[in-house]
Structure 1
């Protein structure tokens, strides 16, 4: 994952994959710096651990 996505997640106080499970994918996509490649990589990382993003609201 690139530096812009990493900075965006840190600015949103997201520092672990577990914390991502509280976020819907669309909300993460709305963060400046988090694009489709980062979202795909995060989705894959979560899936490897049997986790997923929060359901859309």
Structure 2
């Protein structure tokens, strides 16, 4: 388990380093094309998402 202090959280370069090293992992729930923005918003509002909703351009 990794604990990151509040000071370290304010340093985006540190977070990027942890992501690059695979220590931190972003969890993506679903990806939507921009044309489906309404569906993406409804998915987010449903409260059933676990992770991030990505909208691609």
Point out which structure has higher relative CO (alpha carbons under 8 A, 6+ apart).
1
TM-score surpassing 0.5? no
Q: Which has the higher strand share?
A: 2
Computing the radius of gyration from Cα coordinates, the structure with the larger value is 2
Q: Give the TM-score normalised by the residue count of structure 1.
A: 0.28
Q: Which has the higher helix share?
A: 1
